């Protein structure tokens, strides 16, 4: 499954690179490497809700501080 993280200018300024790195870590430490693929995207069109993360056609607003919460509540649920 693909997780798209927006790296457009607005999201970049709000920390999308940190989110990518953290998500990557979380996915690896939970042994889900073959289930998810993180992909960068240039602008998902929802700049107000930066940082935008798209999973299965739904766009979520995630901040570097809420990555773990997002991972537990959204990402993990996709495979459960």
What residues line the site for another protein (CB under 8 A)? 4, 7-10, 12-13, 17, 20-21, 39-43
Least Cβ distance, residue 12 to another protein (angstroms): 5
**Closer to another protein at the Cβ: 4 or 30?**
4
Output 17 or 60, the one with its CB closest to another protein: 17
Least Å distance, CB 28 to another protein, is: 15
C-alpha distance from residue 19 to each of 10, 39, 43, 44, 80 (Å): 14, 12, 15, 15, 22
The per-residue b/e assignment along 38-52, b for 16 or more CB within 10 angstroms, e otherwise, is: eeebeebebeebbbb
């Amino acid at each position: 499954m693909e997780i798209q993280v927006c790296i457009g200018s607005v999201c970049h300024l709000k920390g999308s690179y940190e989110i990518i790195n953290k998500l990557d870590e979380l996915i690896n430490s939970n042994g889900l490497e073959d289930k998810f693929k993180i992909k960068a995207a240039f602008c998902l069109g929802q700049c107000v809700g930066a940082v935008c993360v798209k999973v299965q056609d739904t766009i979520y607003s995630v901040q570097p501080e809420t990555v773990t919460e997002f991972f537990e509540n959204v990402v993990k649920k996709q495979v459960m």
